Amino acid sequence: MTERSIFLLPGDGIGPEIMSEVKTLISHMNDKEGANFKTDEGLVGGSAYDAHGEAISDSDMEKALAADAVLFGAVGGPKWDDVPYEARPEAGLLRLRKDMALFANLRPAICYPALSNSSSLRPEVVEGLDILIVRELTGGVYFGEPKTITDLGNGQKRAVDTQVYETYEIERIAGVAFEMARARGNKVCSMEKRNVMKSGVLWNEVVTATHKAKYDDVELSHMLADAGGMQLVRWPKQFDVIVCDNLFGDMLSDVAAMLTGSLGMLPSASLGAPDEKTGARKALYEPVHGSAPDIAGKGIANPIAMFASFAMCLRYSFNMIAESERLEKAIATVLDSGVRTGDIMSEGCTQITTSEMGKAIREAYSAA
Ligand code: NAD
Ligand code: IPM
Ligand code: MN
């Protein structure tokens, strides 16, 4: 059977703790199911900075580019607050996204039945929730130039970030959102701020034109992104697919995370364009959350977003749909059984550690 290469980048804080649980599942799938995953591991973020002074080395970058898929934990933490801006841990992740051309970031927010009481919102607002945020990931204010801080010499400084989008960038992310919608609820809501931003005007225009040209079977609506944030917490089930730029997508996906009970629940897939000849696409899979410095090293982090990110990897990079669904079902089964990590703990449930949750998910996966 063909070898499936996965490059693992555990990163910092809770990254290595949650990655270790998924690594054990990968070994299990190799040993018991002949999955033939070949893994290699590198450094990213603060741990890479400590080892060689940059947030990802060129050689690890090459390995990421060569792998069938990259699994990423999390980066960052107070230890690296004072490192040069270019070498800050987050720069490693941004370089991976840019150099691998991962323009399409899929962030599904699903409220598992057992967790409808864990959200800070009323159960009827979130139960059965299944929405997908499609975030543009290689453009916008994250990468636009100029991006500078200038000393004005009078005790003042001026900081500039630049929001830039070109037609093709909006067209291709809109295409992903419409394609995704066709395979689920057939609705897309595009969010921007055309009332104050030129890039919002173009965004709205291009999404509308793309819809008209190729996807008019999909229901399209538009919302100003601030109102969209409000609607996400007022009645999130009105949405199916939300498409937005890099910064709005970052913020709205953290908001959506809390609808599912915890930031520790939300996975993501970052995908490049399919290769014209082979159809293969570069891809990186990571939880939406960060390195959670406040709980790192305590063995209490929720590994579910990491497992669910691996489930997305099985689906999108390896077309292992049955295994992906089995893993998602294993997560639901474990939650149904009443065990919880601290972040999703509720009355009547049993609190368990990261490694106990990992073991429970692997056992449920094997049993399914
Ligand atoms: P965070 O996501 O790390 O943590 C926010 C809160 O959620 C914390 O209270 C944390 O304990 C909790 N949390 C997050 N994941 C959890 C999990 N799996 N289980 C249980 N609780 C969890 O965000 P932050 O504190 O704003 O950022 C910390 C660092 O992480 C920063 O350096 C930031 O830049 C970085 N960050 C990295 C990524 C990434 O690597 N993809 C994403 C977001 C933030
Ligand atoms: C995310 C994170 C990143 C982002 C940071 C760590 C660069 O918050 O993946 O959501 O802002 O995109
Ligand atoms: Mn974020």
Rounded distance, CA 284 to CA 8, Å? Answer: 10
Residue 73's Cβ-count burial label (10 Å; 0-12, 13-18, 19+) is buried
Q: Does 341 lie in the same domain as 243?
A: no
* pLDDT value at residue 118: 87
Q: Which domain holds residue 359?
A: 1-102+273-368
* pLDDT value at residue 258: 87
- Among 206, 240, 271, give the residue marking a domain's end: 271
User: Of all atoms in ligand 1, which is nearest to the CA of residue 343?
Assistant: 20
Tell me what the pLDDT averaged over the chain comes to.
Answer: 97
Q: Does 114 lie in the same domain as 46?
A: no
Q: How many domains are there within the chain?
A: 2
Q: Does 302 lie in the same domain as 160?
A: no
DSSP H or E stretch at residue 39: strand 37-41
Residues of the chain with pLDDT under 70: 1
Q: Does 291 lie in the same domain as 263?
A: no
Q: Does 313 lie in the same domain as 185?
A: no
Q: Does 242 lie in the same domain as 126?
A: yes
ipTM metric: 0.98
Q: Does 216 lie in the same domain as 108?
A: yes
Q: Whose CA is nearest to atom 4 of ligand 2?
A: 250
Summarised one tens digit per residue, pLDDT across range 102-157 is: 999 999 999 999 999 888 899 999 999 999 999 999 999 999 999 999 999 999 99
* pLDDT value at residue 2: 83
pTM more than 0.95: yes
DSSP H or E stretch at residue 199: helix 198-214
301 is an annotated ligand-binding site residue: yes
CATH of the domain at 59: 3.40.718.10
- Among 271, 300, 321, give the residue marking a domain's end: 271
* pLDDT value at residue 1: 65
Q: Whose CA is nearest to atom 36 of ligand 1?
A: 290
Q: Does 338 lie in the same domain as 282?
A: yes
144 is an annotated ligand-binding site residue: no
